[in-house]
Amino acid sequence: MSGDQVTEAVRGCVTTLRAAVDRDWTSVRAGSVEWDCHVTALHVAECLLAYAGNLVGHARDAYVPFEMRLEDGTGNDGLLHVLETTGALLAAAVNTAAPGDRAFHPYPFRSADREGFAAMGVAEVLLHTHDMAQGLGLEYAPAEGLAESVLTWLFPHVQPGPEAWPTLLWATGRGELAGRPQVDSWRWHNNLVIPADRLTLTGLRPAAARDLRLGGDGGFTWLGGAPYEGTREAAGFMVKAYEAGVHRPDFGVFTLVRTEDGLAVGGIGFHGTPDTEGRVEIGYDLVPEARGQGYATEALSALTEWALSRDDVHTVVATVEADNAPSQRVLARAGFHRADTEQERTAREDRGMDSGLRLYVHGG
């Protein structure tokens, strides 16, 4: 997801609306939203500019305190020019931002990265162009790839449908989708990022997980050139959960990014959501070049602390091979202890834990 998609989305918006440039947009409601088409177009431009401003300004706790105002007497042609300009500003901000840059956005974790700002900008353009086109009686449908990008970057909690554009319209309360209930309220979902001492635990989005599963780099630069096989396997499980509609982003997979140089050194994540007893399982791995430096302990401690701070998690568990002494030491340093005989028996009989594994527990 880059500024190129922002440019493509804005181009499609302007091309569509230009067909009605001689109409009075202030007298036409934009589809199902409460605004007229003029206000809606201005809103899109304001969002594009605000996203660009927050990203380049490295906003931390609130939007950069400025606002946009049209000159008196600006007509529809001028408003389209403003859309093109603010789209270009966001595209440039995204394309020049560093990979690890994050800035303020309120939902849901109070920050977004450059890909998130690009995706939010594209979402604003696509959805509100649909609204305005609907009000003005114009035909509009974006490229399927744009809609799919928005879904895989901002709607990881939404099961993919047969086609991306109708699915995005349904997910935002703008249409129906066979076999699914009507959507009355919605929010998009930027990825979760958890800071540690020398690492950042960066939540994987479905698009990145899919790329990892297929042998790509997931958009990261890896120490040693490629992720460890366990990370690819975990990404594959995440993609399956996303495609089945059961993926929950808070309990997904995270890439371990080293703060000093931005290199990815491993992966960590959950094996699913908490069960009815508040128990959740965690797993991790490192590329060989990063082992023996305390990164696994640091990541495990950070993610376990985050999980146990939630009301729905009471116990974090991990399994490890009986002969894997280094991983057992990692668990011990992160505050885990070996489960007792009864707990291991229950894990084997009720949860299918392999007999060659040992169970470690934190909390509970």
Domain 3-171 belongs in CATH node 1.20.120.450: yes
The reported pLDDT for the residue numbered 84 is 98
Distances (CA, A) of 292 to 259, 297, 299: 17, 10, 13
Structure token pair of residue 287: 């590329």
The 10s digit of each residue's pLDDT in 82-96 is 999 999 999 999 999
Q: Model-level pTM greater than 0.85? A: yes
Angstrom distance (rounded) from CA 50 to CA 35 = 19
For 325, other C-beta atoms within 10 Å of its C-beta total: 10
The reported pLDDT for the residue numbered 326 is 94
Angstrom distance (rounded) from CA 196 to CA 255 = 12
The 10s digit of each residue's pLDDT in 238-255 is 999 999 999 999 999 999
The reported pLDDT for the residue numbered 146 is 98
The 10s digit of each residue's pLDDT in 168-191 is 999 999 999 999 999 999 999 999
Residue spans of beta strands (DSSP E) within the chain: 102-103, 112-113, 193-195, 199-203, 253-258, 264-270, 279-286, 315-321, 337-338, 357-363
Quick check: bond before 227 cis, omega within 30?
A: no
Ranges of each domain in the chain: 3-171, 193-363
Residue 204 and residue 257 in contact, taking contact as beta carbons nearer than 8 Å: no
Angstrom distance (rounded) from CA 252 to CA 218 = 15
The reported pLDDT for the residue numbered 351 is 86
The reported pLDDT for the residue numbered 279 is 96
Residue spans of beta strands (DSSP E) within 193-314: 193-195, 199-203, 253-258, 264-270, 279-286
Residues of the chain with pLDDT below 50 are none
DSSP 252: S
Pick among 3.40.50.620, 3.30.750.200, 3.20.20.70, 3.40.630.30: CATH of 193-363: 3.40.630.30
Angstrom distance (rounded) from CA 94 to CA 96 = 6
